[in-house]
A and B are shown apart, each in its own frame.
Chain A
Amino acid sequence: MSTLTVSKAIREGLHEEMVRDKNVVVLGEDMAVMGSVFAITQGFLDEFGPLRVIDTPISESGFTGMAVGMAMRGLRPVVEWMYDDFITVCLDPVMNQAAKMRYMTGGQVKVPIVFRAPIGAGRRNAGQHSQCLEALFTHIPGLKVVAPATAADAKGMLKSAIRSDDPVVFLEHKLLYAKKEEIPDGEYMIPLGKADIKRPGKDLTILTWSRQLYFSLEAAETLASQGIDAEVVDLRSLVPLDWETIKASVQKTGNVMVVEEGARRGGIGAEIAAEIQEELFDDLDAPVARVAAANVVSPFSPPLEDAMFPHPADIVAAAHKLLAK
């Protein structure tokens, strides 16, 4: 075991893959000379050279489209969007090209590409730099969408994402980059599509991912002191979704909530809640609860921003309501 920050763990995973496979290239704004604003690619330019570590102009639609073309021609590009909010200017190459190409060519063309994008609120970055757009990505068939929270998961899943023959949207929470955690020594992989029970419990299932995992774990400790034993399931991967783990947990506890940082309306929680009530109705002791951000634009004002998205106290309150306690 060694202790690394989440950003260093991502860097390590990316580095290992670039050493392993010369087809892996990185591109994006400030990726080469500066080493990315979150220091993910520091030193890469010297080690791998300008053909594999590419600084691009501020033109997401340009470099994302270029990267999709590189993937179609056999490279394995890892693209960084500085914020997931910027998907709006480059949605066509992602949604209409990368996601659909393998199907529409009858499998003749594969698009092995990773779109890395920081997400999340809490940095007073206001409306255009604070969103969690998981629900937007998961609605597009043909994309895999993952959002690891821990350093160990981030590294292991990034390696799997790079080796995936399909496009993967890899979402990293800005406020987790500096978190220091233990990760396994040596090379390891974590498959996409596998949830991880980060805290076992029997009274209540909390389905969550990314930064809300830590808020959920914190809430679970508070709940434990009140005699409520919550199971916290880190979904990690939203597409594909680990339904078997969800099912087993719901069947164990009978009470379930989905905790997410994205907007409540049309969110991942809505989708999972619908799926659970259709498939597991007889296992439910209460309606599936959703804890999510308010349906508003992310405010710049710190008190308003904090009120906008879920915090541990919101999860605790929702658990009380769910369990009628």
Chain B
Amino acid sequence: MATEIKMPQLGLTMEEGTVERWLKAEGDSVKAGEPILEITTDKLTNEVEAEADGVLLKIVAHEGEDVPVKGLLGYIGQPGEQVGASAPAAAPAAAPAAPAAQEAPAPAQEAAPAAKDGRKIRISPLARKIAKQMGVDYATVTGTGPSGRIIKRDILAAAESAPKAPASAPAQKAAAPAAAGTAFPVKNLELMEGDTVEKLTGMRKVVAQRMYTSSVEIPPVTQTVKVDVTALLAFRRQLKESGHAISVNDLVLKAVSKALRKHPEMLVSLDGEQVIRRAHVNLGMAVALDTGLIVPVIRDADLLSLEALSAKAKDLAERARSNQLGADEYKGSTFTVSNLGMFGVESFTPIINQPDAAILGVNCTEDELVMEADGTISKHQVMRISLTYDHRLVDGAVAAKFEMTVRDLLESPMDILL
């Protein structure tokens, strides 16, 4: 009996995964515990290991396909073994054919194509692809093409009639993925020379959907405040000289955690008609990856010492880049910080990481000439911070006061530690 390879559930919230790459081909021998394919979820890439010794008999889900948790990916078994629903169905179907032949060959032959399981379904490649995309079970669809072939229009008709027939279970199932999968309109864009096309999958898809939803749902305002970081940078040098590798970003995270404690009105989430006041300062920290963007969360950041916060931030960023974050480590933020300062960005308008109500963008440090109280000119280092907030929940003055607190802390770095 062949062993089914199924889509594993990685983390509580995982609903489906994408087959990224098969490491084995059909017919390859595999050992239990050996990685046989890679899958990606919304945030992670993981290897799936063989659960049994044998050969990879059949690949059911091919590269790029989205498969729900516990969905079938393939089979491991012994060489030549039959797999899938067709194996048990084939045996009884074939057996009665021979004895029946003498008495009533005609009905036996007619019965075969009518039988639901054994019936060979004629369907065009395009129709099969569309059926899968729209979640239509094409086994129940009647084809109108040549020789009863199911073609595109049959699938479209089935998908259209599906929501109108709530009694039918497969029809209901069909409607849901169709609704979920239509976030981005198909525009049939014209391709120009050298263009390539790839599927929106994995992390890119999640980032696209989350940014889009946030941008559409939230009335955002971005306010930028200038911070004199001359003292902060001097403080950081001092720390470095005494052997503490603390980054400007660590100091910003610490200052923001402290400021959030003082301004709990920034720590809110909107859920329908309800406003959730968050108890914890869980700082999301945007980390850029080659494949997209991930926001690991530093839990109860306000309770950590500067050193512990710095270590935690470093650990999360490193593990995010090497794709080793646990599923629960990028969930549950209540406020997010996004730092583009190292890229020389002077000011930007970050998009809120829902369900947070605000996000702080951190910009680059620049030299500026400042006129002192005595009229002399001196060189200072300044950095701008750009706060985007959800104006449904937070008003301009509230946001400005929060930003002032962050600014004051950064301008008097000793206060960050108090």
Contact = CB atoms under 8 A, between A and B. Distances in A.
A286 B151 CA distance: 8
A285 interface: yes
Nearest to B144: A324
A250 to B, nearest CB: 10
Interface string A255-287: 000000000000000000000000001111110
A194 to B, nearest CB: 9
A19 to B, nearest CB: 31
Contacts of A247: 191
A299 interface: no
Contact of B151 (A248, A252, A285, A321): A285
A185 interface: no
A254 B125 CA distance: 9
Leading 10 A-B pairs by shortest Cβ distance = A285-B126, A254-B126, A285-B152, A324-B145, A285-B124, A282-B125, A248-B191, A285-B151, A282-B129, A281-B125
A275 to B, nearest CB: 15
B80 interface: no
Interface residues of B, number: 17
Interface centre among B126, B145, B149, B190 (most CB of A within 10 A): B126
Nearest to B188: A252
Contacts of A281: 125
A46 interface: no
Interface of B: 124-129, 144-146, 149, 151-152, 188, 190-191, 193, 195
Interface size class of A (residues with CB under 8 A): 10 to 19
A322 B404 CA distance: 69
Nearest to B145: A324
Given A254-B126, A284-B126, A285-B127, A244 B193 contact: yes
Given A324-B144, A324-B145, A324-B151, A284 B188 contact: no
Contacts, number: 38
A283 B125 contact: yes
Contacts of A282: 125-126, 128-129
B115 to A, nearest CB: 25
A247 B152 CA distance: 18
Contact of A248 (B124, B125, B126, B190): B190
B144 to A, nearest CB: 6
Interface in A279-320: 281-286
15 contacts: A244-B193, A244-B195, A247-B191, A248-B190, A248-B191, A281-B125, A282-B129, A283-B126, A283-B129, A285-B125, A285-B152, A286-B124, A324-B144, A324-B145, A324-B151
A254 B188 CA distance: 13
Given A254-B126, A254-B152, A281-B125, A286 B191 contact: no
B37 to A, nearest CB: 21
A281 B126 CA distance: 8
A324 B127 CA distance: 14
A170 B320 CA distance: 58
Given A286-B124, A324-B151, 14 more contacts: A247-B191, A254-B152, A281-B125, A282-B125, A282-B128, A283-B126, A284-B124, A284-B126, A285-B127, A285-B145, A286-B145, A286-B146, A286-B151, A324-B146
A283 B126 CA distance: 5
Interface string A23-62: 0000000000000000000000000000000000000000
A227 to B, nearest CB: 12
A102 B216 CA distance: 59
A256 B315 CA distance: 55
B76 to A, nearest CB: 27
Nearest to B193: A244
Nearest to B192: A244
Contacts of B125: 281-285
A321 B127 CA distance: 17
Contacts of A285: 124-127, 145, 151-152
